[in-house]
Homo-oligomer: A and B are copies of this chain.
Amino acid sequence: MSPWFDQVRVVLVRSRNPLNIGAAARAMSNFGIQKLRLVTPWEPSYLGARAAVGASDVLLNSEVYGSVAEAVADCGLVVGTSAVGERELQHPLKVLEEGANEMRRALAVAPAALLFGSEKFGLSNEDLSHCHWLMRIPTRDAHISMNLGQAVAVCLYELVRSGAQIPMRDAPAMAGAAEVERLTQVLFQALRESGYVESVAEEAAMEKTRRMLRRLDLQGNDAVALTGMMRQILWKFRHPEKPE
């Protein structure tokens, strides 16, 4: 097994069906991917899947998070899976084969997350705003939406298939998702306080901001520097009475 296998995080967002959670974990185990993270799963379902006979180590070692931001905090790349057509896409979309290729390159330098949405609704716009780009399994137009466990199996197969030999590289200092999210929050606060963001459209503006910052592919030091600038701007908003 290649060392980058350990850098993959499979993130299931709001999964409801214990069979799907178990199936996702089993496919991960089949393909040698260990790190399963669940964002606000339906609790009886998650506990049921863990309690099932034959639950894999992957499932027993899985972690639960309260938000997508926390679940991907250590990742340099966040990829969403999508059965396109359901909504207007505001992200670059790659077919699985090409996307897996790009993920492998990213995994050689930092952890990367692969997000799967709930069985019924997929990933929300808020979930997607945490993603750098989206990936789609090439199913046929007339029946585009795959079962969750099967989608996980197919994606991991493609990711692992031809990539077992990729060596790890020294990590260049790219910004992790937590850093970018920190910047997103402070920039957004600044936009709000500056009046740039109207309160009515706040949610959409936040998602737009989040997507934009992820498109930048910031280096770590740049993210820190930008965050510092935004903090300063914020400070200024709050202390208008004391010009320096």
Binding site for B on A (CB under 8 A): 1, 19, 23, 26-27, 29-32, 56, 97, 137-140, 143-147, 149-151, 153-154, 157-158, 160-162
Contacts and interface: CB of A to CB of B under 8 A. Distances in A.
- Copies of this chain present in the complex amount to 2
A1 B140 contact: yes
Contacts of A147: 23, 26-27, 149, 153
Pairs of residues from A and B, 6 with the lowest C-beta to C-beta distance, nearest first: A150-B153, A30-B139, A32-B140, A29-B143, A154-B157, A30-B146
Contact of A160 (B29, B31, B138, B143): B138
A144 B30 CA distance: 6
Contacts of A137: 30, 157
Nearest to A1: B140
A6 B145 CA distance: 21
A29 B31 CA distance: 24
Contacts of A143: 26, 29-30, 56
Contact of A140 (B30, B144, B145, B153): B30
